Amino acid sequence: MSERRVEAGPGGPTGGGTAEDGPSAARAPAGPPALAAAPHELALRAVGLVKVYEGGLVEALRGVSLEVRRGERVAITGPSGSGKTTLLHLLGALDRPTAGAVEVFGRDVALERDLDALRGRTLGFVFQLHHLIPNLSLRENVALPAHPWLGRRERLRRAAELLTRVGLGHRIDFLPVKCSGGERQRAAIARALVNEPRLLLADEPTGSVDSETGARLLDLFDELARTDGLTTVTITHAPEVAARADRTIRIVDGRIAP
């Protein structure tokens, strides 16, 4: 019953919980089939993901299994409507699968009691639409999801530093409406990085930036992969983005194309 041990991440068990009753202790049913790599090397493991919408009328995902190793840079490509965004949301625990399982750094998302904590500790998410808050400056937007225990001054300092890193040092006090689409997208990337995530999930992060800016953003992702071991999963239509990934997964009609 308890033979299947799941590693705690390097950050240790979640604060506040009791040790004997950890989220991974109770999994009795047959686990996902063993795939290639050992769990401790994996940033992500998805097994048999199915997602239906509209009471079953729309089958967005029809059984997707994949593994992403720590530090790996994976690109996801595929036609519009093929299920890419749905997949990314499931991988980031923003939505629940109809069937199948997701593990993030060895932890079964379905067993996590505090998904906000999991996301806050480990995940950064860049949405297809940037979702910046219109009446907050870029700096305040980036600082918003930063860990509250950092304190306001440190949160704003980090935000300014990240905005500078994505090339927006001259825009930190601008409202989103005063910025171009590409600048907003870069701010959304800075926001996704504010808690130093181990896994960055990005939905077309270079979709609305020119190719030079896009290349600089990818340089930043690469740098973070090198220095911090950041794992990235990036949905993209841009061949140059896919070309820089370690691996490309193509989704067609809710499945991984062979």
Ligand X SMILES: Nc1ncnc2c1ncn2[C@@H]1O[C@H](COP(=O)(O)OP(=O)(O)O)[C@@H](O)[C@H]1O
Query: Shortest Cβ contact with Mg ion: which residue?
Result: 85
Q: Is 234 in the site for Mg ion (CB under 5 A)?
A: no
Among 6, 43, 60, 189, binds ligand X (CB under 6 A): 60
Task: Show the binding pattern over residues 126-155: x = contacts Mg ion (CB under 5 A), - = does not.
Answer: ------------------------------
For the chain, what is the HEC assignment? CCCCCCCCCCCCCCCCCCHHHCCCCCCCCCCCCCCCCCHHHEEEEEEEEEEEEHHHCEEEEEEEEEEEECCCEEEEECCCCCCHHHHHHHHCCCCCCCEEEEEECCEEHHHCCCHHHHHHHHEEEECCCCCCCCCCCHHHHHHCCCCHHHCHHHHHHHHHHHHHHCCCHHHCCCCHHHCCHHHHHHHHHHHHHCCCCCEEEEECCCCCCCHHHHHHHHHHHHHHHHHHCCEEEEECCCHHHHHHCCEEEEEECCEECC
Q: How far is the CB of 205 from ligand X (least distance, A)?
A: 14
80 counts as binding ligand X under rule CB under 6 A: yes
Shortest Å distance, C-beta 200 to Mg ion = 17
CB of 86 to Mg ion, least distance (A): 8
234 lies in the binding site for ligand X (CB under 6 A): no
In the window 82-121, what residues touch ligand X (CB under 6 A)?
82-86
User: Given candidates 85, 141, 195, 232, which one binds Mg ion under the rule CB under 5 A?
Assistant: 85
